[in-house]
Amino acid sequence: MSDRVADEVVVVSDDSDNTVDALAAVALVAIFVATCVFWVASQ
């Protein structure tokens, strides 16, 4: 059985990528919350 962990390469992302990921996460949460609010209001 070969050691696959030793073959993996770790790529460190830029801070700009982290900012984009954070903004995307906030946007997804905001969309989810808005959808829940509209769904509850329509009941």
**Model pTM score:** 0.59
Percentage of the chain beyond pLDDT 70 is 65
Give CA–CA dist 43/34, Å, rounded.
15
Separation between Cα atoms, residue 25 and residue 17, nearest integer Å: 12
Closest alpha carbon to 38 in 26, 10, 9, 30: 30
Question: 14-33, pLDDT tens digit by residue?
Answer: 667 888 999 999 999 999 99
**Bigger pLDDT: 1 vs 9:** 9
